[in-house]
Each structure stands twice: as structure tokens, then as C-alpha cells.
């Protein structure tokens, strides 16, 4: 999306609303990968960011808000990350610079299948993936250390897992409140 030079980027809550408005009907209606999950990933991301000082907060939020919006089904759909990346690039007023945008695109494309590595040393990409993977308990999958990138999270996985579980299995909160955690 091209904007005039002094355009003020969207607030996080507006950005999330924009992402949600572009989501597939399947994604919007999903109990496993739907809007409540996106907000849980964003809130888990906010927790991780407190332990990942070099990760870029807005990028993690953008990842959470977009990552599962383009699913075509709730099962095997390895391309949904690619489609989310395309939507981000073309349609979202993301407010990221080129380097930050490239990282989020990489994180989106490789969070779902693909040949990407299970962990990433870049703190922002790692925080994005960890935010999603820490919520896997909701689908009865135990998050494995081998798939966690953020050193502080890997080092205290059971505690972070419990926090993420509380978030993803607890009450949903509106985006405006999620944004306040950023």
C-alpha cells in the first residue's frame, strides 16, 4: 500500500481491524485459528517481548493480527502464510520500514509448513513464531523446545507455556485492549 510521505501509520487497533476485515469467512468462523486465536497470539507476543528486548514490537503485533486470516480450511493449508504475506504487502497500512516488512513477510510465509528452519536467530522472527507456537496447547499439542526461538522462553518453557495457555484458553479481549499491551 502506497501512502503520501508524511502519512501517519494506522494505530495497532485499526491495523488489526483492517486485517480482520480482509480475513476469509473460514478464518473468521474458526474456533481453532480464528480472531480469538489471533488476539491470544498478540497477547502472548506482548509477554515474550518483555523477554526479547531486541525484537520489534509492532512487527510481532502485525504478524499476530495477520498470520491465520487467510486460511481456506482448519486443517492442512500450508499456503495460508504466503497468502497472509501477500495481503500484508498489498492491503495493510502496516507502518513498517522495508527491513521490518521483509522480516514479517518471512515470518508469515514460513510459520506454516514450508522448508524454513524450525527456529530463527532473528529476535523478531523468533518472537513471532514463538507467540503462535506457545498457544499450541489449545489444540493438544505440547510446544517443543526444538521449535522455540527466543532464548528466555526456551529456558523457561513450562512457565511461558502456562502463561500462553491462560491467555488462549481464557476470555477473549477486544483488540483495543490487546493494543494497550504494546
Q: Which is nearer to Fe ion, 53 or 78 (CB)?
A: 78
Q: Examine residue 130 and tell whether it contacts Fe ion (CB under 5 A).
A: no
Among 92, 125, 132, 168, binds Fe ion (CB under 5 A): 132
Provide the mask over 86-125, with x wherever binding to Fe ion is found by CB under 5 A and - wherever it is not. Answer: --------------------------x-------------
Minimum CB–partner distance for residue 68 and Fe ion (Å): 4
At 122, phi and psi to the nearest 5?
-70, 125
∠ at Cα 63 (55, 51), nearest 5°? 30
Helix segments in 22-174, DSSP class H: 25-29, 35-49, 57-66, 80-91, 98-110, 123-133, 151-154, 157-169
At 75, phi and psi to the nearest 5?
-110, -115
Minimum CB–partner distance for residue 5 and Fe ion (Å): 34
Q: Which is nearer to Fe ion, 155 or 170 (CB)?
A: 170
Q: Examine residue 68 and tell whether it contacts Fe ion (CB under 5 A).
A: yes
Q: Rounded to whole angstroms, how far apart are CA atoms 30 and 16? A: 17
Q: DSSP string covering 55-85, please?
A: S-HHHHHHHHHHTTTT-SSSSS-TTHHHHHH
Q: Rounded to whole angstroms, how far apart are CA atoms 38 and 132? A: 9
Taking contact as CB under 5 A, which single stretch among the options 18-26, 44-52, 126-134, 171-179 is the one that binds Fe ion? 126-134
Minimum CB–partner distance for residue 7 and Fe ion (Å): 30
Minimum CB–partner distance for residue 24 and Fe ion (Å): 12
Q: Binding to Fe ion (CB under 5 A): which residues in 136-155?
A: none
**How many residues make contact with Fe ion (CB under 5 A)?**
3
Q: Rounded to whole angstroms, how far apart are CA atoms 86 and 42? A: 20
Q: Examine residue 168 and tell whether it contacts Fe ion (CB under 5 A).
A: no
Q: Which is nearer to Fe ion, 99 or 139 (CB)?
A: 139
Residues that bind Fe ion (CB under 5 A): 68, 112, 132
Amino acid at each position: 500500500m502506497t501512502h503520501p510521505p508524511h502519512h501517519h501509520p494506522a494505530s495497532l487497533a485499526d491495523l488489526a481491524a483492517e486485517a480482520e476485515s480482509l480475513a476469509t469467512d473460514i478464518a473468521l468462523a474458526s474456533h481453532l485459528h480464528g480472531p480469538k486465536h489471533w488476539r491470544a497470539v498478540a497477547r502472548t507476543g506482548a509477554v515474550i517481548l518483555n523477554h526479547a528486548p531486541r525484537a520489534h514490537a509492532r512487527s510481532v503485533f502485525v504478524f499476530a493480527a495477520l498470520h491465520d486470516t487467510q486460511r481456506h480450511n482448519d486443517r492442512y493449508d500450508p499456503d495460508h502464510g504466503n497468502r497472509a504475506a501477500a495481503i500484508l504487502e498489498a492491503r495493510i497500512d502496516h507502518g513498517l520500514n522495508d527491513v521490518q516488512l521483509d522480516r514479517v513477510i518471512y515470518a508469515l510465509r514460513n510459520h506454516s509448513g514450508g522448508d524454513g528452519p524450525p527456529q530463527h536467530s532473528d529476535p523478531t522472527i523468533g518472537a513471532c513464531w514463538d507467540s503462535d507456537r506457545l498457544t499450541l496447547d489449545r489444540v493438544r499439542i505440547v510446544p517443543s523446545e526444538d521449535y522455540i526461538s527466543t532464548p528466555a522462553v526456551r529456558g523457561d518453557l513450562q512457565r511461558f507455556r502456562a502463561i500462553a495457555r491462560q491467555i488462549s484458553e481464557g476470555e477473549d479481549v477486544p483488540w483495543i485492549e490487546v493494543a494497550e499491551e504494546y
